Amino acid sequence: MSVFIDKETRVLVQGITGSEGSYWTRHMIDLGTNVVAGVTPGKGGIEVEGVKVYNTVQQAVTATQADAAVLFVPPKFAYDAIFETLDAGIRKIVVTAEGIPLHETMMVRTAALARGAIVIGGNTTGVITPGVAMMGFLPYWIDRVYKPGRVGVMTRSGSLTNEATAMMVEAGFGVSSLIGIGGDAVPFTRFAEMLPAFEADPETDAVLIIGELGGTMEEEVAAAIQSGIFTKPLVAFIAGRNAPVGKKMGHAGAIISGGKGTVAGKASALRAAGALVADRPSQIGELFRTVFNQKQ
């Protein structure tokens, strides 16, 4: 079972004829993803990496019954591309673009929630069920980092995810499903909103959260644990403990404002809810040993 993508998921790639779209389509196919269609307006009828291209999402869905989409389109086109996908009936969408205007992000999030859709991103490297399928642009050496296992992963980071997950895998624990929530200030989907999927997944025994300073998503995870929405063990690492107050660090969402969003505050809330919090990535494997020893 997967919380987002499996071998049966029929994936459509928007922007497939661009350099990024075509490159990562080949990589997704190599990793087992069932890519059934591509969409680029005006390019309908050609093939990219053996995948037929259509002019519109609706044409592609009608012809192939695609039920998920990954978007390799620039930020200024993302809003229209997402709504075209939602209007065609697709309810699983991964958006890689970084820096989508905030008001557009909010409108997309509102529309997705109203339609029961899950939109991942923006500014995400994607999602993966290791050994099964991937949507996004996780690197070619991914099979050395993301080994199949029973730990779900959710993250706001890209490169830090590789490091943190590698520490976990080195300790002997693999990944069931990984969701890159994304690093923009307002993600389309939040950590706590994906927790019920990991809670229900029989192939996930615990979850790793890779967070950052700024925002309140990690505190929302703590509240979900305290309310009983999520009951499985959870380990967290939160980056940015040495960041100066009021200064954005890397991602658009990584900024402390109004005294909220500090690493210390997030760590305190998670620990109070019963989660284990690593002070550095090298502690993650050790904490999962503790988790699974307690379960046994």
Domain holding 54: CATH number? 3.40.50.720
Mean pLDDT by 10 residues, the chain (296 residues): 91 97 96 97 97 98 98 97 98 96 96 98 94 88 83 90 89 95 93 97 97 92 97 94 58 52 92 96 93 79
Token code pair at residue 213: 């300073």
Same domain, 278 and 167: yes
Same domain, 167 and 239: yes
Q: Which domain holds residue 210?
A: 145-296
In the β-sheet with 35-39, what is the strand arrangement from edge to edge? 47-48, 51-54, 35-39, 11-14, 68-71, 92-95, 118-120
CB 129 within 8 A of CB 6: yes
Is residue 128 included in any domain, yes or no?
no
Is residue 166 included in any domain, yes or no?
yes
Same domain, 280 and 161: yes
Same domain, 16 and 116: yes
Give the pLDDT confidence score for residue 2 in this predicted structure. Answer: 80
Same domain, 109 and 153: no
Q: What is the domain count for the chain?
A: 2
Give the Cβ contact number of residue 173 at 10 Å.
23
Give the pLDDT confidence score for residue 46 in this predicted structure. Answer: 98
Same domain, 75 and 210: no
Give the pLDDT confidence score for residue 240 in this predicted structure. Answer: 77
Is residue 134 included in any domain, yes or no?
no
Same domain, 267 and 173: yes
Is residue 139 included in any domain, yes or no?
no
Same domain, 255 and 171: yes
Same domain, 214 and 91: no
296: which DSSP letter? -
Give the pLDDT confidence score for residue 244 in this predicted structure. Answer: 60
Catalytic center residues = 251
Same domain, 215 and 169: yes
Four-residue CA torsion sign, 155, 159, 160, 161: positive
Same domain, 112 and 179: no
Is residue 129 included in any domain, yes or no?
no
Same domain, 152 and 116: no
